[in-house]
């Protein structure tokens, strides 16, 4: 929300709904990224800006306070896609549809005309607002490829093996953190000493500590200060995220058409998994964070092969609605969970984390730590359903009911977990350079 300035707001929308409001006479505009229809507790919502029923009135009120006239406001609305509905059998949420209905009702009640609207469907989109020109645009999250590939040979086993061997090794500091926390015996001072010796990781840690992930206004300029301000577990999560970031590709091809989206999805999934573990009390929140961060590392290996076959992947996963893993096996001969498990074993990652990587789409096959695997699977479903994930591919929804059952959750519990998820922080992850 602002008067005219050289800045553009952009909301990447899946199930969520974006609303842009402008008053061209007063030359002010604003945008809201709405995640859910109504808060669990209507009397005292934790984050009122996240909900259609409370957030949109907030935006309208704030625009009026900076000079907008309600009678002059115009709206552009986008989003509310199904994105592979979670489960009709167990939840009758219809998140995107309910958000859209509430938004339309509020705008009609306030007498605000809708100049453009594109809601529903099965694909994500981008809503942008240029505050310099007050121009709003709705565009697809990914553009359909102009050429459709009919057939392309699968990569050979040697090519896949060479790709696994060629992935940049995970820094030793990350492995040390995983092993130490798995054994519950470690010295944070030793970890901090190792971070100080690695200038790249140290810089990324401080970058993350000063980003929206921590929500601090006063800058943190040393690892020791980060420890005092953030606490042990949060700092370990920042170190681990910064170390793992080195391994993720920074290209705009392959699984994602947005630079860095694979890493941002990994961190978002880690935060949701951590929240699930904390709320259920069934697993260590930090271990869940680590597992969520690593769950898609197989995509690091396969990203190059997907990029070469992007039109075919688009057709099979977007047009034909095939699940990502099924499309990978069909087109590449192997899926990212199996490749990720091979990479994790090569890195000597603890076995419970390897299992999560291997079975995060099929948690019923896990035997070492099935609860942790179900937590990460559910986190992935939530992250993909309520926050835009890598552009190509969707996760199957068949395991949703089993995840709820394994974790002892019902519909009300699930809604409460969605309510407590730090969506405002997750939505700002892509704004960090780390």
Give me the active site residues, please: 16
**Is-contact 315 148, C-beta < 8 A?**
yes
Query: Rounded CA gap, 33 and 427, in Å?
Result: 9
DSSP secondary-structure letter at 184? T
Pairing of strands 135-140, 114-119: unpaired
Q: What are the distances in angstroms from CA 76 to CA 97, 116, 161?
A: 16, 5, 48
Query: Rounded CA gap, 343 and 346, in Å?
Result: 5
Query: Rounded CA gap, 377 and 397, in Å?
Result: 10
- Three-class secondary structure of residue 2 per DSSP: strand
Query: Rounded CA gap, 265 and 388, in Å?
Result: 8
Q: Residue 71: which residues within 8 A CB-CB, separation 6 or more?
A: 111
E strand segments, 84-124: 114-119
Tokens of 311: 């039109």
Tokens of 383: 């992250």
**Is-contact 239 173, C-beta < 8 A?**
yes
Query: Rounded CA gap, 49 and 58, in Å?
Result: 7
Pairing of strands 74-79, 28-34: unpaired
- Walk across the sheet containing 8-13 and list its strands: 8-13, 125-130, 135-140
- Three-class secondary structure of residue 278 per DSSP: helix
Overall residue count recorded for the chain in this entry: 434
- Three-class secondary structure of residue 138 per DSSP: strand
Output the 3-class SS for 315-353. Answer: HHHHHCCCCHHHHHHHHHCCCHHHHHHHHHHHCCCCHHH
């Amino acid at each position: 929300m602002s008067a005219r300035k050289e800045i553009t707001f952009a909301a990447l929308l899946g199930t969520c709904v974006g609303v842009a409001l402008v008053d061209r006479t007063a030359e002010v505009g604003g945008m809201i990224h709405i995640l859910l229809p109504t808060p669990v507790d209507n009397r005292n919502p934790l984050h009122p800006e996240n909900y259609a029923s409370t957030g949109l009135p907030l935006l309208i009120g704030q625009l009026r306070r900076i000079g907008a006239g309600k009678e002059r406001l115009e709206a552009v609305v986008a989003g509310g896609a199904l994105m592979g509905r979670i489960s009709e059998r167990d939840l009758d949420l219809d998140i995107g549809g309910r958000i859209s209905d509430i938004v339309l009702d509020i705008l009609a009640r306030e007498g605000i005309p809708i100049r453009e609207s594109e809601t529903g469907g099965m694909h994500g989109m981008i809503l942008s607002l240029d505050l310099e020109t007050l121009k709003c645009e709705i565009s697809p999250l990914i553009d359909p490829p102009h050429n459709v590939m009919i057939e392309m040979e699968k990569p050979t086993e040697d090519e896949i093996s060479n790709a696994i061997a060629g992935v940049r090794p995970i820094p030793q500091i990350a492995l040390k953190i995983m092993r130490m926390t798995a054994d519950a015996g470690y010295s944070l001072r030793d970890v901090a000493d190792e971070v100080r010796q690695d200038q790249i990781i140290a810089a990324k840690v401080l970058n993350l500590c000063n980003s929206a992930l921590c929500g601090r206004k006063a800058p943190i300029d040393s690892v020791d200060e980060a420890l005092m301000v953030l606490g042990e577990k949060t700092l370990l999560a920042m170190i681990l995220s910064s170390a793992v970031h080195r391994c993720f590709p920074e290209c705009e091809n392959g699984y994602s058409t947005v630079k860095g989206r694979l890493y941002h999805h990994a961190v978002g999934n880690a935060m949701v998994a951590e929240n699930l573990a904390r709320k259920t009390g069934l697993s260590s929140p930090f271990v869940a964070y680590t597992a969520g961060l690593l769950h898609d590392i197989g995509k690091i290996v396969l990203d190059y092969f997907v990029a070469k076959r992007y039109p075919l992947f688009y057709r099979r996963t977007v047009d034909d609605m095939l699940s990502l893993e099924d499309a990978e096996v069909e087109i590449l001969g192997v899926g990212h969970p199996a490749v990720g498990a091979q990479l994790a074993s090569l890195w000597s990652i603890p076995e419970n984390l390897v299992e999560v990587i291997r079975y995060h789409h099929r948690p019923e096959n896990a035997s070492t730590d099935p609860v942790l695997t179900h937590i990460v699977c559910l986190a992935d479903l939530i992250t993909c359903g309520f926050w835009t994930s890598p552009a190509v591919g969707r996760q199957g929804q068949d395991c949703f009911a089993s995840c709820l059952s394994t974790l002892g959750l019902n519909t009300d519990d699930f809604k409460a977990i969605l309510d407590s998820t730090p969506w405002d922080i997750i939505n700002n992850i892509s704004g960090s350079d780390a």
